Amino acid sequence: MDSSRGAKPGPLRGLRIVEFAGIGPAPYAGMLLADLGADVIRIDRYDAGMADPGHRVLGRGRRSLALNLKQPAAIALVRRLLRDSDALIEGFRPGVMERLGLGPSECRDINPRLVFGRVTGWGQEGPLANAPGHDINYIAITGLLNAIGTRDSGPVAPLNLLGDFAGGGLFLAFGVLAGILEARNSGQGQVVDAAMVDGASSLGSLIWGMRSGGFWPGARGENMLDGGSHFYGVFECADGKWVTLASIEPPFYAALLQALELDPTRFRSQMDPRDWTALRADVTAAIRRRTRDEWSSRLEGSDVCFAPVLDFDEALQHPHNLARTAFEQSEGMVYPAAAPRFSRTPGAAAVPAGKAGEDGRRILADFGFSKEEIAGLESAGVVRPPSDRDMRAGG
């Protein structure tokens, strides 16, 4: 990868962002920005090694500089990087960056245009701001976790997608880009407080609107989009595998009834929740007459609004995913391709992240550090030098 500013392909070409290494949402935001062409420089711990497999994917597309942030010289180095950067992103608990001497006020003095992106679970202020937690804790107080699951299951954790990655990382990337656009007009940066509780709540805007309009009256598993209806949900097949149906609009609903050989007169009260339990039992029985793959051969691509529920291995082989090259592979790892897609300036999902600090010399040279300065920082234990392997690879 060409390390010069703006050399990466993608619509964010030319942006330079400093990311403080962490876990979960901040690395995901950095991945999104890097996939679309931003030059994201990740500040790793001096003693960090090779990332675990999950974070090798989340860390892709960035160059790594490993610093001993306990040394004042390392803080001075970061301040020098920030002078020529568009944004900083971090996912520490409130107050950590301030204790390092790199809080928003200090960064404003370094670079008035700098956008300071912060992602936490609870936000930078509020009664819980300093409390520890993880994804499921944050979405628990939004009302959304209680709505996910069936009447019998109780609330079901949606992996850690809703809080960490959608509510946190995605909103951090969105907020940072919005801040950079505004700074180009005003000449002033600002703090982006990306709280997972706020982002997750925003993702539930449609559901809140439906509740306000009286279209989400039931408890968990009793509403149109949560599995309560007979025409939108997940259904078990004869082989124990599953399919999804989403036949909401009248033409799609009619196609569903025809495909399942169900009596249209019995099913004419589609939107009456009082009939959903009985009608869902009929749809469930109809789906159980065939295997998942039999239903796929009959219904996939039809007006029924149908898709099979695939496991990870099956997803890699689905014809639609193959046609769109939805997944890529490198160094024995499989990972999703860059998204969204652009017609003229496509992004790229670079190979998974390597060893922390392997790009240090190239990064510092790009920011104007001399060979003598770099050697001095390495010998003082401020910057970790590249290993022999990194040197052979061009580090």
Whether the bond between 340 and the residue before it is cis, its omega within 30 degrees of 0, is yes
Euclidean distance between CA atoms 249 and 212, whole angstroms? 22
Residue from 44, 164, 226, 390 carrying the catalytic annotation: 164
Smallest CA-to-CA distance from 197 within 135, 148, 288, 154 is with: 135
Helices assigned H by DSSP within 219-370: 250-259, 276-287, 292-299, 312-317, 319-323, 360-366
Nearest-Å Rg of the Cα atoms of the chain is: 25
Residue 88 CA from chain centroid, whole number: 18
For residue 130, report the phi and psi dihedrals to the nearest 5 degrees. Answer: -100, 5
Answer yes or no: are the C-beta atoms of 311 and 242 closer than 8 Å: no
| 164 tagged catalytic | yes
Classify 20 as helix, strand or coil: strand
Q: State the residue for tokens 């090694």.
A: 49
User: Phi/psi class of residue 151: alpha, beta or left (left: φ > 0; alpha: ψ in -120 to 50)?
Assistant: alpha
State how far the Cα of 395 lies from the Cα of 391, in Å rounded to an integer.
Answer: 5
In the DSSP assignment, the letter for residue 118 is: E
Distance, CA of 128 to CA of 132 (rounded, Å): 8
Which of 341, 318, 338, 343 minimizes the C-alpha distance to 328?
A: 338
320 is catalytic: no
Which residue in 52, 134, 239, 320 is the catalytic one?
134
CA angle at 296 for the pair 299 and 269, rounded to the nearest 5°: 45
Q: Which residues are catalytic?
A: 134, 164
